[in-house]
C-alpha cells in the first residue's frame, strides 16, 4: 500500500513513520500542486458534503458536530476503500510525468 506524503507535521513524526513501516506502507512524496491525491478528496469530503447538503446550521459548532457524527459512522472498510482509490491515483500520477490530476479524469498541466 502507498501513503501520499503531504508534508503535514504529523506524517513526519517518528511514531507515524514507524507505524507505517510496520504495516508495510510505503511513503510516496506528494507534489505541491496535486491536492487530489489526498484520500480525503476521494472519499471523506464527498461523503460529509453529501450528508450535510441542504442542512442549515445555527452555528459552526453545530455543523462541526454533525460532520463529526457522519465521520464516526464510517467503517474501517470505508476508509480502506478511500486509501485504495488514492493508491490508484498515485500510480496514474507517477505514470503521467507527475502532472496535475483532477477527479477521475487525468489532466496534465505543464508549468
Q: Is the pLDDT of residue 4 over 80?
A: no
Please tell me the distance from the alpha carbon of residue 108 to that of residue 98, in angstroms, as a whole number.
8
Instruction: Kindly give the interhelix angle for 60-72 and 45-52, rounded to the nearest 10 degrees.
Output: 120
**85-93 mean pLDDT:** 68
pTM of the model: 0.45
Please tell me the distance from the alpha carbon of residue 50 to that of residue 12, in angstroms, as a whole number.
32
Q: Structural domain boundaries of the chain?
A: 2-95
Q: Is the pLDDT of residue 21 over 70?
A: yes
* pLDDT interval class at 109 (50, 70, 90): very low
Looking at residue 105, its pLDDT comes to: 47
pLDDT in tens, 46-87: 888 899 999 999 999 999 999 999 989 888 777 777 666 666
Looking at residue 56, its pLDDT comes to: 93
CB 27 within 8 A of CB 3: yes
At the topology level, CATH places domain 2-95 in: Nucleotidyltransferase; domain 5 (3.30.420)
Amino acid at each position: 500500500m502507498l501513503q501520499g506524503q503531504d508534508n503535514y507535521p504529523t506524517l513526519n513524526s517518528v511514531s507515524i513513520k514507524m507505524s507505517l513501516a510496520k504495516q508495510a506502507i510505503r511513503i510516496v512524496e506528494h507534489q505541491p500542486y496535486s491536492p487530489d491525491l489526498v484520500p480525503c478528496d476521494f472519499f471523506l469530503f464527498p461523503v460529509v458534503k453529501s450528508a450535510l447538503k441542504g442542512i442549515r446550521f445555527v452555528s459552526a459548532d453545530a455543523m462541526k458536530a454533525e460532520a463529526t457524527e457522519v465521520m464516526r459512522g464510517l467503517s474501517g472498510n470505508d476508509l480502506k476503500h478511500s486509501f485504495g482509490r488514492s493508491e490508484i491515483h498515485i500510480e496514474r500520477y507517477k505514470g503521467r510525468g507527475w502532472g496535475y490530476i483532477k477527479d477521475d479524469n487525468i489532466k496534465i498541466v505543464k508549468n
